[in-house]
Chain A
Amino acid sequence: MSDFAALQTALSGLMAHRRAMEVIGHNIANANTAGFTRRRIDLQPAGGAAAGGVWARSTSTGDGVNVNGVTRMREDFLDLRVRRELSTNGTTDQVSNILNRIEQTMPEPSDTGLAAKLSAFWGSWDDAAARPDDLSVRSAVLQQADSLAGTFHTTAQQLLDLRDQLGSDTQIVVEQVNADSARVADLNNSIVAAKAAGVEAGDLEDQRDLIIDRIVSSTGATTRGHDDGSVDVFLGGSTLVRGNHAEAISVVTGPNLDPPLNALGLTKTELRWATDGYPVVQLAGHLGGNLQGINTLVPQYLNQLNGVAATLVSKVNALHQTGHGLGAGDVNLSFFDPVGVTAATLSLSSAVVGQPSRIALAAGAGGALDGSLGHQIAAVVDSQNGPDALHRTLIGQLGIDVQSAQRRADVQSKITKQVDSDRQSVQGVSIDEEMTSLVATQRAYEASARVMTAVDQLLETLITRTGMAGR
């Protein structure tokens, strides 16, 4: 062993610790970077006989320290857990969001909502029936009916608007997912190349894993890592990203909604694979919630609202047709337009619109100023299967749905935060820890320098003092 070997040993210590300090610096610099995984430098003692020979004898004490590499402190298991929760969280959060917005279209209990409008409508019948000869109170019936129809229209339109907004949101998110998938494929490519060349690729991996988290939260995709450093992303069993190749998904308008919602005349929104046109299955995450909203939740409530409108029309018309108005020919008239009765199309029939005298307040056998039919129509308010009761059922169900969706979303968000914080506790940067390492590294660096100085002094003794005997 050469005398200079000790210098090399000290040098390896200096270099290793300078490298360690660089890693610590990088960690601290990225303490608040989203998705950053802390690095740890792997040091290994260098030199020494790998295996002792039978007769050979080594006195080597080792050649200092080697930097084996830099490890990303990441646990695949935690990644899997976080991604599973992110996927569920995306759905529950979006479903709760959508239900909340549906609830906003039906503000009850209030003095201005549909329930109040219905009451005012029934009341106007009673008022008119008490004074069948007064055209102004008859006109009030038409006005109240108009205002009631207006409330139905507004609510239905708001629901359809909400559906459209969800559609455009889906479009945007799908584009984002496609861009993200392509980026993941790119990054996979770079990472594999870098690793093959033995180059540090941790930052690229961090970037890719963050993008994958976003894809998972949007779509509920699953992942599988490979030894070469690439990560595949699967969506419903099909490949979204494999190695350096990414597939695209697209939003398409599908067939009509499934029964019993098919009567609405609305079409499904589906996600399909861009290459072969097969539907994307097992969709979760934000997009899963969106599709649920577009294809189920919003249509379902629209359907129920239509049910309320249809009941209103059938109940009122059935009674109205039995009576007669003020004029001789005003018999067998519909009050509401009986064709295509939905919340969006509810309207007065052409027989009575603008003609209050044709409103039937008199029962079939009654005199011209009979009001008994009007009172009967007003009493529909108490009907157990009338529009008011149906509307109450609708509001009750909506309330329960919103409440439970909110609770699910709250719980899921807590779980997601907890799991994410578990992951952070492994991969995140702790300043205190880095400072401790920094101090330790600094000390080790100083000590290595001291070793070098000592060896230097040793050599000085050897070079300048040795062989000077008797001088």
Chain B
Amino acid sequence: MNRVTSFSASTLMLSNLFDSQRALIATQRQIASGKKVQKASDGPAEAVASLDTRSKLRRSAQLDRNANRAKEWLQAADQSTQSVIDGVNQARGLLVQANSGALDGPARQAIANQILSVRDSLLGTSNTSVLGRPIFSGTAAGASAYDSAGTYLGDAGGVILPVSPGVTVRVSRTGPEVFGISNPGDPANGDLFQMLTSLSASVASNNTTAIANGLNSLDVASTRVQGVQVELGSRLNQVEDLRTAATGLDNELTSFVSQLEDIDYAEASIALKSQEASYQAALQVTAKIIQPSLLDFLR
């Protein structure tokens, strides 16, 4: 460029000043928002990674809600099975008492009544619900799992909740799994309600064979319910472990998103300072060279 004309000089100076100012404003925007990636075009790779990670985080928060729901169910089931075990033990104690043979009719009748009341309390336990939904009725609709006669109203389905990516947990147990399978033809070998009703009758009529068999049946039932309880407990542990691991992962993902999107304040402040300095220098230099012309020196 041989000649420098006032027009081209001022255009160039202005455009250089604009460049300086633009850089300054870009840094200011980053510092004000704390983000280096505000739009996808600020860093396409970062933006996509951040979208992906944000989506994973939101999914994880959702799974966390599922896990809390799973814990509610498992804890309710755990407590219920414990009271079922207690009830069975109580009934067993009563049977042992009745089996001693030293009781008269009214005493036996009293024990028989107590056994019936144990049955009723188990029936109450069987209708334990979480947020209005009975936990032992599978996936069937309805307000209770067993009716007052001890008939199962639920189905064989289960409540299965996803608690971690790729991991689902069956958080419910059906009535028959806990209370045994109903057997109307042979109540002594049916579910707990039929068994206790029939045992109560046996105690009242002092049927010693049936009482002795009943002790065995109750032991079997107790073992089954304990098995269910242990399984529920280990599921509860599993859910808690998974969530602990997920929380750790969430923290890592959050810090990853921050790494992708957030600015390094120290770096940005230094950049801002140096840009500011260069802008001021540019302003001063421009002011210096734009003012004088030959006119100032001609008389």
Chain A residues with CB under 8 Å of chain B are: 31-32, 38, 99-100, 103, 106-109, 111, 115-116, 118-120, 122-123, 126-127, 130-131, 133-134, 326, 362, 366-372, 375, 378-379, 381-382, 388, 391-393, 395-403, 406, 417, 420-422, 424-426, 428-433, 435-436, 439
CA distance A109 to B41 in the complex (A): 11
CA distance A366 to B44 in the complex (A): 44
CA distance A431 to B165 in the complex (A): 74
Instruction: Report whether B51 and A115 are in contact in the complex, using a CB–CB cutoff of 8 Å.
Output: yes
CA distance A417 to B295 in the complex (A): 28
Q: Which 10 A-B pairs have the closest CB atoms?
A: A367-B139, A428-B5, A399-B40, A399-B44, A424-B8, A402-B41, A119-B58, A370-B139, A368-B141, A396-B48
| A31 and B39 in contact, given A109-B50, A417-B12 (Cβ under 8 angstroms) | no
When distances are taken between beta carbons in the complex, the residues of chain B under 8 Å from A406 are 41
B255 CB, nearest partner CB in chain A, Å: 16
| Interface residues contributed by chain B, number (CB under 8 Å) | 55
Instruction: Report whether A430 and B5 are in contact in the complex, using a CB–CB cutoff of 8 Å.
Output: yes
A122 CB, nearest partner CB in chain B, Å: 7
In the complex, the chain A residue whose C-beta lies closest to that of B157 is A367
CA distance A133 to B139 in the complex (A): 10
In the complex, the chain B residue whose C-beta lies closest to that of A403 is B41
**Which of B2, B131, B132, B294 lies at the interface centre, i.e. has the most chain A CB atoms within 10 A of its CB?**
B294
When distances are taken between beta carbons in the complex, the residues of chain B under 8 Å from A382 are 59, 165
Instruction: Report whether A429 and B138 are in contact in the complex, using a CB–CB cutoff of 8 Å.
Output: no
Instruction: Report whether A421 and B1 are in contact in the complex, using a CB–CB cutoff of 8 Å.
Output: yes
Instruction: Report whether A375 and B12 are in contact in the complex, using a CB–CB cutoff of 8 Å.
Output: no
Instruction: Report whether A399 and B39 are in contact in the complex, using a CB–CB cutoff of 8 Å.
Output: yes
CA distance A436 to B297 in the complex (A): 11
CA distance A3 to B3 in the complex (A): 44
In the complex, identify which listed stretch (B61-69, B74-82, B118-126, B234-242) lies at the interface while the others stay far away: B61-69
Known contacts A382-B165, A432-B293, A435-B295; 17 additional CB pairs below 8 A are: A31-B7, A107-B39, A109-B47, A127-B62, A127-B65, A130-B161, A133-B141, A367-B157, A369-B133, A370-B139, A378-B62, A399-B43, A425-B2, A425-B4, A425-B5, A429-B5, A431-B6
Give B14-48 as 1s and 0s: 1 = Cβ < 8 Å from A's Cβ atoms.
01000000000000000000000101111111011
CA distance A307 to B158 in the complex (A): 36
Instruction: Report whether A108 and B40 are in contact in the complex, using a CB–CB cutoff of 8 Å.
Output: yes
CA distance A107 to B39 in the complex (A): 7
Instruction: Report whether A395 and B162 are in contact in the complex, using a CB–CB cutoff of 8 Å.
Output: no
A29 CB, nearest partner CB in chain B, Å: 13
Give B83-125 as 1s and 0s: 1 = Cβ < 8 Å from A's Cβ atoms.
0000000000000000000000000000000000000000000
B83 CB, nearest partner CB in chain A, Å: 24
CA distance A349 to B163 in the complex (A): 30
The reply to whether the CB of B283 lies closer than 8 angstroms to some CB of chain A is no
A148 CB, nearest partner CB in chain B, Å: 14
The reply to whether the CB of B286 lies closer than 8 angstroms to some CB of chain A is no
Q: Which of B1, B37, B131, B293 contacts A109 (CB 8 A)?
A: B37
A405 CB, nearest partner CB in chain B, Å: 9
CA distance A272 to B165 in the complex (A): 58
Q: Which of B12, B55, B61, B139 contacts A421 (CB 8 A)?
A: B12
Chain B residues with CB under 8 Å of chain A are: 1-8, 11-12, 15, 37, 39-45, 47-48, 50-52, 54-55, 58-59, 61-63, 65-66, 69, 131-133, 138-141, 154-155, 157, 159-162, 165, 168, 261, 293-295, 298
Instruction: Report whether A381 and B7 are in contact in the complex, using a CB–CB cutoff of 8 Å.
Output: no
**Which of B6, B42, B160 lies at the interface centre, i.e. has the most chain A CB atoms within 10 A of its CB?**
B6
**Which of B4, B61, B131 lies at the interface centre, i.e. has the most chain A CB atoms within 10 A of its CB?**
B4
CA distance A399 to B49 in the complex (A): 12
In the complex, the chain B residue whose C-beta lies closest to that of A107 is B39
Instruction: Report whether B40 and A133 are in contact in the complex, using a CB–CB cutoff of 8 Å.
Output: no
Instruction: Report whether B1 and A422 are in contact in the complex, using a CB–CB cutoff of 8 Å.
Output: yes
When distances are taken between beta carbons in the complex, the residues of chain B under 8 Å from A107 are 39
CA distance A421 to B66 in the complex (A): 66
CA distance A170 to B173 in the complex (A): 69
20 contacts between A and B (CB under 8 A): A103-B40, A108-B51, A109-B54, A123-B61, A123-B62, A126-B66, A130-B161, A368-B139, A369-B159, A392-B52, A396-B40, A397-B44, A399-B43, A401-B41, A424-B7, A425-B3, A426-B3, A430-B4, A435-B295, A436-B294
Instruction: Report whether B140 and A369 are in contact in the complex, using a CB–CB cutoff of 8 Å.
Output: yes
When distances are taken between beta carbons in the complex, the residues of chain B under 8 Å from A397 are 44
CA distance A38 to B45 in the complex (A): 51
| A424 and B11 in contact, given A103-B41, A109-B47, A406-B41 (Cβ under 8 angstroms) | yes
Instruction: Report whether B1 and A388 are in contact in the complex, using a CB–CB cutoff of 8 Å.
Output: no
Q: Which of B12, B42, B59, B69 contacts A130 (CB 8 A)?
A: B69
Instruction: Report whether B168 and A375 are in contact in the complex, using a CB–CB cutoff of 8 Å.
Output: yes
**Which of B5, B154, B159 lies at the interface centre, i.e. has the most chain A CB atoms within 10 A of its CB?**
B5
Instruction: Report whether A398 and B157 are in contact in the complex, using a CB–CB cutoff of 8 Å.
Output: no
Q: Which of B1, B51, B52, B58 contacts A123 (CB 8 A)?
A: B58
Instruction: Report whether B162 and A431 are in contact in the complex, using a CB–CB cutoff of 8 Å.
Output: no
When distances are taken between beta carbons in the complex, the residues of chain B under 8 Å from A396 are 40, 44-45, 47-48
CA distance A391 to B55 in the complex (A): 11
When distances are taken between beta carbons in the complex, the residues of chain A under 8 Å from B7 are 31-32, 424, 428-429
CA distance A439 to B299 in the complex (A): 11
| A122 and B59 in contact, given A130-B161, A432-B293 (Cβ under 8 angstroms) | yes
**Which of A100, A393, A421 lies at the interface centre, i.e. has the most chain B CB atoms within 10 A of its CB?**
A421
In the complex, the chain A residue whose C-beta lies closest to that of B15 is A417
Instruction: Report whether B39 and A103 are in contact in the complex, using a CB–CB cutoff of 8 Å.
Output: yes
Instruction: Report whether A388 and B55 are in contact in the complex, using a CB–CB cutoff of 8 Å.
Output: yes
B5 CB, nearest partner CB in chain A, Å: 3
When distances are taken between beta carbons in the complex, the residues of chain A under 8 Å from B133 are 131, 133, 369
When distances are taken between beta carbons in the complex, the residues of chain B under 8 Å from A379 are 162
Instruction: Report whether A431 and B295 are in contact in the complex, using a CB–CB cutoff of 8 Å.
Output: yes
| A378 and B293 in contact, given A369-B141, A395-B40 (Cβ under 8 angstroms) | no
Q: Which of B48, B131, B294 contacts A432 (CB 8 A)?
A: B294
CA distance A450 to B2 in the complex (A): 36
When distances are taken between beta carbons in the complex, the residues of chain A under 8 Å from B154 are 367
CA distance A178 to B8 in the complex (A): 30
In the complex, the chain B residue whose C-beta lies closest to that of A118 is B55
When distances are taken between beta carbons in the complex, the residues of chain B under 8 Å from A391 are 51
| A381 and B294 in contact, given A103-B41, A115-B51, A403-B41 (Cβ under 8 angstroms) | no
Q: Which of A120, A326, A399 contacts B41 (CB 8 A)?
A: A399
In the complex, the chain B residue whose C-beta lies closest to that of A33 is B7
In the complex, the chain A residue whose C-beta lies closest to that of B297 is A435
Instruction: Report whether A115 and B1 are in contact in the complex, using a CB–CB cutoff of 8 Å.
Output: no
A399 CB, nearest partner CB in chain B, Å: 3
